[in-house]
């Protein structure tokens, strides 16, 4: 999935309670599909290495084309595809072609560069529900070889009424076989009955919890689809209560500690890297995605006036936060230049 975002100006509703943060998704469109964009946030670019969360559906794709995301490039990240309903066909510039269904994991490591397309196959299930997640690659792994993995079997465990599937990283010693480049967790919780429990988590991780289906009360906060609850490091367990059949996602990891520059489908560190990736895509250096009928996506224009307006908006939000935390009084020239660079990330 790509991040062509039609809705840059929607504000994030946000509040803090007991050190936790609750935000509401922005509504964005990817192709013809409306998604709840839960990450990145203007004030929080990543949670562990997780840097992008789109939740779509449940929706009917009966008798329509469904998901059609033409070929597009990625650098510096892993894409994680996780479905609750439906089926999606993945193709990439390595020649991979893989159908994914609920309970399975598609993990694409972009590393220094890959292109892919995702679509509902011609004969597809009538419903579609899932998430598209990105994991930022840490500095030492950013330029790794591109790769694609499909995992049909993932470890799961029962715990106090939850069936927990660990699709990436580790949760209390249960680890997904999928390749990771930082310490993190991605796990799905399905309530097999009415549940009220404490979920043990790694206190070195920061986490987000969100509902994919149903409602839940997590760490004293009511959650419904579209809400994202952030918990900083230092939590040994997370109180969760949910009626039967609720489905939750838990994502977490050791704080990345690296500023991410996200623009379109690229996760980088400098504007120059973004500009290079745009040129590489334009000139066909990411390779071809065979089999997808339709034109590849074009990168949006990097117009300087647009960049500046994003810079100012982003700058004031960041500056407000830094004022509040007494980090700075007057923005330095270096800070202004970083703000301009970060402004690119607003489009992500
Ligand atoms: Mn993609």
Beta-strand relationship, 266-268 and 206-213: unpaired
Distance (Å) from CA 123 to ligand 1 centroid: 22
Cβ atoms 153, 165 nearer than 8 A: no
Q: How far is the CA of 19 from the centre of ligand 1 (A)?
A: 33
- Residue 271 phi/psi, 5-degree rounding, is -60, -35
**Ligand 1 centroid distance, CA of 72 (Å):** 6
Give the Å distance between the CA of 56 and the centre of ligand 1. Answer: 14
Question: What size, in residues, is the chain?
Answer: 348
Rounded to two decimals, what is the model's pTM? 0.86
CA of 198 to the centre of ligand 1 (A): 35
The neighbourhood of ligand 1, an ion, using CB within 5 A, equals 1-2
Rounded CA separation 189/84 (Å): 12
Per-residue pLDDT tens over the stretch 179-217: 999 999 999 999 999 999 999 999 999 999 999 999 999
SS3 of residue 33 by DSSP: strand
Share of the chain above pLDDT 70, in %: 83
Give me ligand 1 centre to Cα 116, in Å.
Answer: 6
DSSP structure string for 74-91: EBSEEEEEEEEES-EEEE
CA of 71 to the centre of ligand 1 (A): 8
Q: How far is the CA of 81 from the centre of ligand 1 (A)?
A: 10
The DSSP code sequence of 211-228 is EEES-EEETTEEE-TTEE
The arithmetic mean of pLDDT across residues 233-243, rounded, is 98
What does the pLDDT look like over 92-122, one tens digit per residue?
999 999 999 999 999 999 999 999 999 999 9
Output the pLDDT for position 271.
Answer: 85
What domains appear along the chain, each with residue ranges and CATH number?
A: 1-150+254-348 (2.60.120.10)
Element (H, E) at 281: helix 271-282
How far apart are alpha carbons 114 and 93 in whole angstroms?
6
Is there a contact between 254 and 337 (Cβ–Cβ < 8 Å)?
Answer: no
Measured in Å, residue 73 CA sits from the centre of ligand 1 at 7
Mean pLDDT score of the chain: 87
C-alpha 263 to ligand 1 mean position (Å): 13
Closest by CA to 76, choosing from 274, 227, 340, is 274
User: How many other CB atoms are found less than 10 A from the CB of residue 139?
Assistant: 12
* pLDDT over 90 at 75, yes or no: yes
More confident residue, 12 or 211: 211
SS3 annotation, 122-158: CCCCCEEEEEEEEEECCHHHCCCCCEEEEECCCCEEE
pLDDT tens digits for 62-71?
999 999 999 9
Rg over CA atoms, the chain? 19
Amino acid 12: pLDDT: 61
Q: What distance in angstroms lies between residue 3's CA and the mean position of ligand 1's atoms?
A: 8
What local confidence, expressed as pLDDT, does residue 342 receive?
Answer: 52
**Local structure of 320: helix, strand or coil:** helix
What is the CA(132)–ligand 1 centre distance, in A? 8
Question: How far, in Å, is the centroid of ligand 1 from the Cα of 14?
Answer: 27
Tell me the per-residue pLDDT of 294-348, one tens digit each, with 9 for 90 and over: 899 999 887 553 454 445 445 444 543 443 333 333 334 454 455 545 544 443 3
Query: Is residue 1 predicted with pLDDT exceeding 50?
Result: no
Minimum mean pLDDT range among 55-59, 273-277, 331-335: 331-335
Tens of pLDDT, residue by residue over 132-183, are 999 999 999 999 999 999 999 999 999 999 999 999 999 999 999 999 999 9
């Amino acid at each position: 999935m790509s991040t062509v975002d039609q809705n840059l100006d929607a504000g994030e509703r946000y509040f803090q309670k007991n050190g936790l943060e609750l935000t509401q998704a922005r509504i964005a469109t990817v192709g013809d599909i409306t998604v709840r964009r839960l990450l990145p946030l203007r004030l929080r670019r990543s949670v562990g290495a997780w840097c992008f969360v789109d939740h779509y559906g449940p929706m009917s794709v009966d008798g329509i084309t469904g998901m059609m995301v033409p070929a597009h490039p990625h650098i510096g990240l892993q894409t994680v595809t996780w479905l609750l309903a439906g089926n999606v066909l993945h193709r990439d510039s390595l020649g991979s072609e893989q159908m994914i269904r609920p309970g399975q994991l598609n993990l694409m490591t972009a590393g220094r560069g890959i292109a892919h397309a995702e679509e509902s196959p011609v004969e597809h299930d009538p419903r579609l529900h899932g998430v598209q997640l990105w994991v930022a690659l840490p500095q030492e792994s950013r330029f790794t070889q591109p790769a694609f993995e499909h995992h049909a079997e993932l470890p799961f465990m029962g715990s106090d009424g939850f069936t927990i599937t660990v699709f990436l990283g580790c949760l209390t010693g249960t680890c997904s076989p999928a390749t990771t480049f930082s310490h993190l967790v991605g796990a799905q919780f399905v309530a097999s009955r009415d549940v009220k429990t404490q979920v043990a988590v790694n206190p070195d991780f920061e986490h987000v919890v969100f509902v994919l289906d149903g409602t839940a009360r997590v760490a004293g906060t009511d959650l419904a689809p579209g809400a994202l609850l952030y918990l900083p490091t230092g939590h040994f367990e997370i109180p969760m209560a949910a009626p039967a059949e609720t489905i939750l996602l838990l994502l977490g990891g050791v704080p990345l500690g690296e500023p991410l520059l996200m623009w379109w489908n690229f996760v980088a560190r400098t504007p120059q890297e973004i500009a290079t990736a745009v040129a590489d895509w334009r000139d066909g250096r990411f390779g071809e995605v065979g089999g997808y009928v339709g034109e590849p996506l074009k990168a949006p224009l990097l117009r300087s006036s647009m960049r500046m307006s994003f810079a100012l908006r982003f700058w004031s939000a960041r500056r407000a936060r830094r004022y509040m935390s007494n980090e700075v009084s007057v923005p330095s020239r270096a800070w202004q230049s970083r703000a301009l660079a970060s402004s690119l990330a607003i489009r992500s």
